[in-house]
Structure formats: C-alpha cells, structure tokens
Structure 1
Amino acid sequence: MFGLAVRSLRKRAGGFAASFVAMFLGATMVMAFGAMQDTAISSDATGAAEETLVTMSIVVGGWGSALVILAVSSTLALSVRQRAEEMALLKSVGATPAQIGRMVVGEATGLALVAWLLAIGPGLLGGAALLSLLHSTDQVPESVPYAFGPVALGIGLTLTLVSAVASAIIAVTRIARAGVIRSLADAAVGRTRMSRKRVAFGIVFLLLGLNLAVVTATVMKDEGMDAMATAGQADIMASLGLALLAPWLIRWAAGVLSRPLELLFGVAGELAVSTLRRRTAQMASVLMPIILFTGVATGSLYLQQIENDATAAAGLVSTVEQKNIATLNFVVIGMILLFTAVILVNTLLAATAYRRGEFGRQRLVGATRGQVVGAVALEAAVLIGLGLVCGVVAAMFTVVPFSVARADALVPDIGPLVFVAVALIATALTAVTAITAAHRAAKISPVEAASL
C-alpha cells in the first residue's frame, strides 16, 4: 500500500495540490514564528525584547497552528471525498479498510514531509523578515541576532505531520469502513450530514468565543488595553466555530434561497441549488476560508482602530507596549489574509476542476455552457453572501464587547469602510477564481468531460 500511495501521488499530483499548498504555507508560517523562540533562546534577550519574541512565537504561532490544522483537514477531506469511487473499486477487488487507510495516510505523510522540507527556506526568510520588522519598530534591539534552529524546525515538522496524518485518518475512516455500494452512492451524491464530533467542536468554539466576549465587556471593562487580550481571541473562536458548522449553514441557505434562485435564474438557479444540496461537504470546504478571512480580518482591524481612537481620545501617546500589540495585530491580519486567501483559491480550483465530469453530463442532458458557468457563479454568490454574514457575526464577538470596554458604546464610531474593504477582497477572490475555473472546466467537450 505504501508503493500504491507513492504512485497515487505521482499520478494524481493535481488532486493533492490544495492539500500540499496548505501544508507548505502552514509549515512556512509556523516555522517563521517559531524562529522567534529560537532567537530569544540563542540571544539571551531579556525584558521587553524577550516578551515580544515569546509573544510572537506563542500567540501568533499558536493561532496560526489552529488555522493550519483546519485548512489541512478541510483540503485533505475534500481530496479523499473526491476519490470515494476509486476507493470503492479498490474494495471491490479485495482491498481491506486497513489497507485503504494505510494508503491514504501514506499519501498524507509523503505530502507532509515534502511540504516541510520545501518550507524550510521560506520559513527561514520569513522569520528574518519578521525580526527585521521588530527591529524597525524598536520592539527588539538591533543587537539581538536572528536564529533559526531546533524550535522552528521541530514545530514545523510536528505540526505538519500531525495535522496531515490525523486529518487523513479522520477523512478516510468512514469511506474505508463503508460497503462498496454505500461508497459508490456517496461518490455519486456526496455526503451532506455532519459528524457529531464536528457539530460538538463547532458549538464549543462558539461558546468559548461568547465567554471571551462577555469577559471583555464585564471583567475587562476598566482594564484599558489589556482588554485586547480577551477581545482579540473572541472573533477567532467564533470564526472557527462557524467554519466548522459550514455544511449546516449551506443546507440552510440552500433551503431558504432555492425558490428565489430558481425563479430568477431558471436552469442556472436550479443547477446551483442542486449542487449546494448534493455537494454540501465540498461547498463547505470553500465556505470555511471565506468565514475565517472575513471574521478574523474584520474583527482584528476594528479592534485596533477602537484602541487607537480610545488612546487618542484620552490624549495619550502610544507606548512601546501598545506599538507591540498593534504590530502583533497587523501581523495576524496579514498572516490570515495571505493564508486563507491562498487556501480559498486552491480549494476552489481543486473542487471546480474535479467537477468536469459533472459539467459534461449536465451539458449532455441539455444545459448550455453558459448555464453551467452561470450556476457556478450563483453558487459562489451564495457562498460569498453566507461567508460575509457569518464573518460579520464572528467579528461582532470582538467589536461589540471591546467597544463597550474601551468606548462605552455598543457600536464604535468608525464606519463601514474597513468591512467593505475586507468584503471586496473576499468577493473578488471567490468570484474570479470560481468563474475562471468553471470557464476552463466547461471548455472540454461534453462527451469527453462526461467520461472523466
């Protein structure tokens, strides 16, 4: 099965692209921040410099790790679901569930090791750029030299391997254990029901976010900028919770919007609604990064603006600690923008390319190429709208309580431009990628595409 895994990676390189990119970027990001811990240890930094380096490595690296795990699990699950028919055929010729499981885990392990090795160089350069940023803002003295060593390498390897192997095991378990007929049925219509564990984790993250929001508005109300410590985590928790519940959100949206879409857009609307209902899990893989992108970016940007306004209103000059936190917030935002944007694009490309056969069959039964592409555009529109709404809800877990704590107001006097900018970026990334990928996939002749 290990040999089969290696051959599968060679033959299906395109199918593993999204997972590989998630692992590569994740390892790069985690090692870059892990290098701050190596720098703190090797340089014997003390005081504020040591605190800054440790905070960067633990706080940002920790949340980055959570995003990496979610991204890797989502892309690997998509890849495994797309191969349900292949696995059913393997079982029909005698392969056991354990053998199929070892094959998928072997593929994930191989991907993880290659991704980690290739990420060492970019991780090293990223860590150097991060320390240079801290030097330029006087948060770490110029005398503190850069170090990239065992902490960065160990964290990068461990996170990449663990997230890849664990995600592969979870993704393949249900498919491997199901009978041949059940597996073929799942491959044809997809799986729409969420596991109880996923629902439980989604609810737990939402409750944790709510708890942090309440603590920010009450316990931290008179604690000044210290309230950022709890408020800054609330929208991340809420975004993760809503992202995990993405399949349920898509089913709900499809039910509410089915009639309007069918009446307004005809065949394209019917195709879009059918896909949202049948391929809920695949669509959820696209919705998740939209929610994370919108929720965390919006919450973090408004958080920093509220703090800046509160400091200015009090007639105070920003301290070194405030500059440190501002830098941390902008680094987090930049990290999330880059990571989730790339994952969103890669997931959309992988999911749309896989549907070439579906597009061909739709055209063979009478749908035009324009109707097929139009259906994909409508699917993207639904996902964008749903993602933006969920992102706003998640951001409110941070914005409202922090505004209460720092400005004594439920709604900050800032305006919607920050959210509009975030929404435009998310919309452009999703719409352009989805429509372009669908256009390319629909270029293949219907007969040729239907056989894929």
Structure 2
Amino acid sequence: MWSLALSTLRFRRSAFLAGFVAVLLGAAIITACGALMETGIRLDVPPKRLAAATVVVGGDQVYTLPKADPADEEEDLQWGTLPERVRLDAGLAGTVAKVPGVAAAIPDLSFPALLVGYAGPVSGHPWASAELAPYGLREGAAPAAEGDVVLDAETARRSGKKTGDQIEITVRGVIGTYRVTGIATAPAAGDGSAAGPEPAVFFGAADAERLSGLAGKADAIGVIAAPGVGAEELRARIDAALRGKNTVTLIGDDRGLAEFPAALTSSENLIVLAAVFGAMGIMVAMFVVASTLGLSVQQRQREMALLRAIGTTPGQVRRMVIGEAMAVSTLATLAGIVPGFLLGGWLFDRLVAAGVVPEVVVFRQGLLPVLVGAGVSLLTAFTAALVTARRAAATKPTEALAESALQPYRRPGPGRWIPAVICFVGGLSLAGVTVFIMSGPLTSSTAGPAVLVWALGLALLAPALTKALTELLGRPLLSLSGTPGYLALLNARARTTRMSAAVLPVMLATGMATANLYMQTTQVSATERAYTESLRADAVVTSATGGLAPGLLAKVRELPEVGQGGATELVTSTGYVEKPHDGWQREEGWPIQGVTAEGVARTIALTPSEGSFGDLRGKTVALEADHARAIGGGVGIGDTVTVRLGDRSAVDLKVVALFETRTGSEKFLVPADLLAPHTTAGLAPQILVRAADGVGADALMAALGRLAEGQEGVVVADRDALTATHAEQQRTQAWVNYLLVGMVLAYTAISMVNTQVMATARRRREFGLQRLTGSTRAQVMRMMALEAGLVAGIGILLGTVASLISLVPFSIAVDDTPFPSGPVWIYLAVVAFATLLTVAATLAPTWLATRSRPAEAAAAAE
C-alpha cells in the first residue's frame, strides 16, 4: 500500500499541493518558535566592558519564592527574576583574589552620567575596572587626584574634549567640573557582540564611590585567570569559595549578564512567547492539515469505494492514506526549515526593535529547534492523517459506493459528541478560572486557549452545525437571490460533509482573530484607564540619568504654583512577600510604588479604607485590602510583613493603611526614601506635581520649567505626556502580541484559501453538467459566490461563538464588564476579510474551471 500511496500522488496534484502548503507553513512557524525558545533558554549575552575577564562574579538575580510550608518537599518551587541590580559586597574581591589560579579580582561599579556637550548618557566607572574591557591609555595619565577623569576615545571626540580640558559632568542630579587627564582606547568589537562597550567616563576610586553612592558595593567582580588556568576550572574554585553568598559565577557569553542583568527577564519573555504561540501554531496546524486531508479524502470517495469493493481491507486503506500524507508532509517539513530559519530571525529582530528583548541578546538557532520543529510537524501531520484515515477505512464497500455519489449526511456519533462535550466543558472551566482565580498579566494565559478548545469542540460537530446553519441561513438566501441561491442551497444540502471542511478554516481564522485582537484592546484600555484614574498629578519632573537630585523635591514644594502637599516622589520596583505566606503571590512579584507621605493624597487617586497614607514614613507599607486578607490568613493595621525588595534586601514593614483598587492593579505603597536606595538608580526617577488651587496647568508648567533650567538631564512634562508615555508602553507590548498572533492568523488565512481552492477546483465536471442543462457561466459564478457567502457566514458565526468564550470572561476579569473594549470596526474588518477571502478563493478556481467547453468539462474526470 505504500507504493500505491506514492503512485497516487502523481494524479492528485491539487491535493498534493494543498497538503504541502499547509504542512510547510506549519513547519516554518513551529521552527521559528523553536528558535525563539532556544534563544531564550541559552540567553547568550556577550560581554563588552568585561570582555577581558575570564570569569565574572555577579549578584544572583534569581529569587526562590517561599513555600506555604517550608518542610513540604512535594510543594513545587517557584522562581522570580529580581528587577533591580543585586550588588555585591566589594570585600568579596579579596576573597576571590585568594582563590588559587586567580591573577586579579577587580570590582566594578557602573552609574549613569551626563556630559555637557555630549548627546546621550554615558556610564561612569572607577578607573581600576578599565582593565576588564580592556581599555588602554592612548594619551595622558590615569586619574590620580579628586576631580580627574579619563574619557574613552569616541566620547572625547564627540564631546570635543582633549587632555587637560575641563568638563562638566552630571551624576545623581548634581553637576560637577572635572579635568580630563587622559583618553582611553576602547577595544574593537569582534567578540560576537553587536558593538564595543558603551560610552564611558572613568573616575578615581574615591570619586567613583562618592558619586555612585555605593561605597563598599560592587556591581560585579571581574576575574583575570593566571596563565594555564581554564575558565571552567576557575569557576568551580570560585563557586566553592563563595558558597552561600548569593552570587553567580559566569563564564563565556554568560558573562554579559553581569553587565546587563535586565536581559534575564527577556529569557522568560522569549520562552513564554515561543511556548504560547508555538502551541497555538501546532493546534492551528492540526486543524488545517486535518481539514485539508479530510477534504482530499472526501473528494476521493469513489476511489476508496472501488478499492474496498475489490477486496482492499480497512487497514490497507488506512495505511495508504497515512502513507500519502506522510510522504507529502516529509517533503513539506524539509522545505519548511529554511523559511523557518528566516522567520525566526525576522521575529527576533522585531522583538528587539519593540524593546521586548535587549539588543545585547544574541539570536541563536541551532540544530535542536530544527529537529524538534520537524518532529512536531511530522507528528502533527501524522495525527491529522490518522484521524482522516480512520473515517476513510471504516466505511463498508457498498456504503462507500453510495456515498461517493450522494454523500448522505450522517449524524455525529459518540466518537464526536463525547470529545466535543469534553472540549466545551474544558472551555467553560478555563472561563471560570479566568474570572474567579486569574488576575493581572496571567489572565490571558487561561482566557487565550479557551477559543482553541471551543473551536475544537465546534469542529468535531461541524457537519451537524453546518447542516443546521445551512437551513437557518438558507431561507434569507433564497428570498434574496432567486435561482442561483436555490442552486447554491441545494449544493450545500447535498455536500454538508465537504462544506463543513471548508467552514473550519473560516471559523478558526474568525475566532482567533476576534478573540486575540479584542483581548489586546481590552487589556490596553483597562490598563490605560486604571493608570489615568489613579493619577491626579498635573505634571511630572523626570531625569534622563535615571535619578533626580535628592533636594529637588523640596525646591518643587517651595514653588507657590504647587502649594502644600502638591508633590511626591515616585519610585517603582517589584517585591515579594516572605512572611506571612502570600497565597496570591506569583513569579513576577508585586508592583511597589515608593511615594512621599505629604504628597501622595493629592497626586495619586487612591483613598485609604483604613489607616492613613500620611503615616507612610520609615519602614511602613500600605496594602490593597483584598490582598491583605490573602496574606497569612489576613493582615491589618499594625501588623508586620516581611518583603523581599528588588535588590534582594529583606525589610520588615508595618502596615499603616489599606486601600481599594481595580482587580489586576494590586500594588504596595511604601515611602520613597525607603524604596529608592534598593533600586538600580538609587534615586527617585520622577516627581509628580499637582497645581495649587486656582493655578492653571500652564502656569505650573512654566514655574517647573524655570526650576529645571540649568539642571542637566531634568525634564518637565504635563499630564498628557505622562499618560501618553504609559499608553505607548502598553501599545508596544500589545504590538508584539499582534505580530505573533498575526503570524498564526496569516497561516490560517492562507490555509483557508488553500482549502477553498481545492474544494472548488474539483467541481469542474459538475459545472460542465450544469451548463449543459442550461445554466450560463455567469449563473454558475453567481451560484458559487452565494455558496462561498454561505460558507463564510457559517464560519464567521461559529468563530464568533468560539471567541466569546475567551472574551467575556477576560473582560470581566480585567475590566469588570462582560463587554470587551475596542472599536467595532475591528470585528467588521475581520468579517469582511474572512468573507472576501472565502469568496475570492472560490470564484478564482470557478472561473478557471468554467473556461473550457461544457461538454469537455462534463466528460472530465473528477
């Protein structure tokens, strides 16, 4: 039967091409997602400023969440990535230096700075760490006294400075004048990184500690190995010496993670994105390939009937169908590898451009994702072929001969009803979890798959649903279209099974597009509204260096346009509750906002239900009321919670206030001066300002503008700019999801065209007979247009039903309403696109099939 399967492909070119395209596109998408996942797992970040170090010691950015019962060994561990740089005790450099095989252990600090006359930020470092790049002096001398600096060659050129010149540098909001004592040459890129080290200015050790505000701390420790000592061997020795110190020892391309710890979060982002959309691609491929193969087999009922009539066993028919499918799938999978490579790189570049992945991460696509993508594609095709072959082989010979001529409708049996009910129950369960359990970014993780689960259930009952909807939609079709509509309805009734195969891709495309697009618009709308409603400030003062001068808040408060209680510092970070146990806690932790007690009431629209925000001083915290009840059985005013902050520091905080907020917007409020030192910048990056009573927004902006004059890096923006920036961040994240969903939808749309063309092209003989009995070519075209409209209408209706199982619970969870947010034109565009694509994919092959003479077409083989 395998040889027969291969030989039949020569005479089934349209079916061969349709299956080939479906599997090829599926293989390309799966391979591309595999490459993104490999990049996230490997997370290669080539070092730049630390390129000369054999080993780099950095702070451990991975935090293990506490268990409900520390003694329970069966409870799964959860990990989160700390958002702030976890710094080291600089004294550890001495410990590392004593390790056998270490030639030098050099601590490094990095802090943002602004140079007058230079466009863009630079990073400040102690001169001793220049050896880690390595930088070398091109001219002049190293910093020897307070106020001496060395510039890298490119920074000196762009700022127009040379040895001996004076230069003004702003660090932590304070401007100082320094003397350029030397120019250092940066190493050329060529170690696999995209470019050399970032622009840098080097200070003496005392200046670096004073300016960074991090005396006794180090961002990382670069280790130079003694001659003859390998990196692996040295790492093992250093690990042993630093055991229990919450450090990580990095070699190879992992060394760059000590320079760019923010890249760690991109690992999880890439893995999650690849897993979610890869799984979606696999399910879509299963739908599409099964639909294509099923339609192909239905069109060959006469051939199958004859094979069964001459003694072919069901097993032989099954092996023939599977053999044909696997022969096509193997060729298509191999052909899909190359576009999969290209698609993976293109998607990665788009993620980098959107800021989801830092530029320092290197895209990796090795053999493993290719093998996995090929294996998954073949397995998907085999599963779809197995389902299709089972139906072809189960029919008795006499029934098959009758079916090939009449294609009678058969009610779905238990083999379809039971799995369909399971899918519907599963979709409702996901909806319940979405509404009652999930919150925040995790909401889409259960709402999203629901549309696919329901689509699978609807697909299992597609023949029955198609028959019922054909009768429902057929009446208005008859009343509006006359004879062509009557012929279209007769064809639809006689071809229910084949028609249902054409309906499936339309349903899938409509359901996925509607659900995913409106989930994004609903999420963005809810987030923007929550942010806008929580903001009472009329203006914001920000810093280009990441932190504002400590005394700036007092100067803002002294402005008569601001008035009493009209300004608060705003610091943002993430933390974890350690004690008591937090049953709501997830790997991403909880947003923390640092505020100033005197100004929070007038600038942030939160009202305490218990306690007072005015008590947010020292080691205190305000919690969302529902969240407070979930911590350790409930905490209230006066209780203490232990919070692990973003830099791994643990603090005991006294609860001084409880407040209400939107579901999914839960956060902590703590004093800004408590939180800021535990962030990477070390200072408040923003000051929210509210105008005094009777003062207009323009007058406030003018006063703040005058205050900011002469303060390098200080920027003043109005409320609209603040909300616009937040909205842009939300839209960027949504755009990434649009991109990946669009990729899968494009695959579905192409497959929808594929199916329609294949279903229509096989009807050449039927069209010839119709024309011999008096129908004109134009009447046949109108009939097929109406059939296509009926297919599109049924698919759109079923797809809309499938999308609602995702949209309604998602909207309730994130926006407290069953109605999703977003313009109506999105749905109308989806409907129009699906309809036009279906009609075009039907009329084009119809026009080609009716070009020949009716007698020739009527005599042609099917």
Fold match by TM threshold 0.5: yes
Give the 3 Å change call, closer, same or farther, for CA 302–180 of structure 1 in structure 2.
same
Which residue of 2 is the match for residue 73 of structure 1? Answer: 290
Q: Is the aligned partner of 1:313 residue 2:529?
A: yes
Deviations 1:20-74 (A, max 9, x none): 1110100000010011122233445773111012112211101110110111111
Alignment of 1:389-404 (within 5 A): 389-404=797-812
Displacement, 1:321?
Answer: 9.7
Q: Is the aligned partner of 1:149 residue 2:375?
A: no
Displacement, 1:130?
Answer: 1.4
Which residue of 1 is the match for residue 493 of structure 2? Answer: 277
CA distance in 2, matches of 1:351, 1:230: 35
Deviations 1:173-222 (A, max 9, x none): 333343332212111122532353333333332322222223223333xx
Deviations 1:287-340 (A, max 9, x none): 111111111111111111111112211227659996785245213421232111
CA RMSD of aligned residues (A): 2.4
CA distance in 2, matches of 1:350, 1:432: 13
Q: Which has the higher contact order (CA 8 A, sep 6+)?
A: 1
Q: Would you tell me which structure has more helix in proportion to its own residues? A: 1
Contact kept in structure 1, 2:44 and 2:362, CA below 8 Å: no
Q: Give the AA of the match of 1:254.
A: T
Which residue of 2 is the match for residue 209 of structure 1? Answer: 427
Q: Is the aligned partner of 1:418 residue 2:818?
A: no
CA distance in 2, matches of 1:313, 1:364: 64
Which residue of 1 is the match for residue 793 of structure 2? Answer: 385
Higher CA-based Rg: 2
Give the 3 Å change call, closer, same or farther, for CA 176–234 of structure 1 in structure 2.
closer
Displacement, 1:431?
Answer: 1.2
Which residue of 1 is the match for residue 303 of structure 2? Answer: 86
CA distance in 2, matches of 1:41, 1:263: 60
Q: Is the aligned partner of 1:95 residue 2:312?
A: yes
Deviations 1:358-378 (A, max 9, x none): 222223333332332222111
Give the 3 Å change call, closer, same or farther, for CA 323–411 of structure 1 in structure 2.
closer
Deviations 1:65-103 (A, max 9, x none): 011011111100111111111122233444333333222
Q: Would you tell me which structure has more strand in proportion to its own residues? A: 2
Give the 3 Å change call, closer, same or farther, for CA 211–352 of structure 1 in structure 2.
same
Q: What's the % identity of the aligned pairs?
A: 39
Partner residue of 1:197 out of 412, 415, 422: 415
CA distance in 1, matches of 2:522, 2:390: 46
Q: Is the aligned partner of 1:16 residue 2:16?
A: yes
Which residue of 1 is the match for residue 321 of structure 2? Answer: 104
Contact kept in structure 1, 2:325 and 2:385, CA below 8 Å: yes
CA distance in 2, matches of 1:441, 1:104: 27
CA distance in 2, matches of 1:262, 1:407: 43
Using the size of structure 1 for normalisation, the TM-score is 0.92
CA distance in 1, matches of 2:839, 2:417: 28
Give the 3 Å change call, closer, same or farther, for CA 442–196 of structure 1 in structure 2.
farther
Which residue of 2 is the match for residue 349 of structure 1? Answer: 757
Displacement, 1:418?
Answer: 1.1
CA distance in 2, matches of 1:107, 1:236: 28
**Which stretch shows the higher mean deviation, 261-270 or 182-191?**
261-270
Q: Is the aligned partner of 1:240 residue 2:648?
A: no
**Which stretch shows the higher mean deviation, 232-241 or 32-41?**
232-241
**Which stretch shows the higher mean deviation, 105-114 or 87-96?**
87-96
Give the 3 Å change call, closer, same or farther, for CA 325–87 of structure 1 in structure 2.
same
Which residue of 2 is the match for residue 164 of structure 1? Answer: 381
Give the 3 Å change call, closer, same or farther, for CA 144–12 of structure 1 in structure 2.
same
> How many corresponding residue pairs?
450
Contact kept in structure 2, 1:293 and 1:336, CA below 8 Å: no
Give the 3 Å change call, closer, same or farther, for CA 128–101 of structure 1 in structure 2.
same
**Which stretch shows the higher mean deviation, 227-236 or 49-58?**
227-236
Which residue of 1 is the match for residue 676 of structure 2? Answer: none
Partner residue of 1:139 out of 341, 352, 356: 356
CA distance in 2, matches of 1:159, 1:322: 33
Q: Give secondary structure in 2 for the equivalent of 1:367.
A: coil
Q: Give the AA of the match of 1:359.
A: F
Q: Give secondary structure in 2 for the equivalent of 1:314.
A: helix
CA distance in 2, matches of 1:259, 1:58: 45
Contact kept in structure 2, 1:56 and 1:328, CA below 8 Å: no
Give the 3 Å change call, closer, same or farther, for CA 150–302 of structure 1 in structure 2.
same
Contact kept in structure 1, 2:318 and 2:392, CA below 8 Å: no
CA distance in 1, matches of 2:842, 2:417: 28
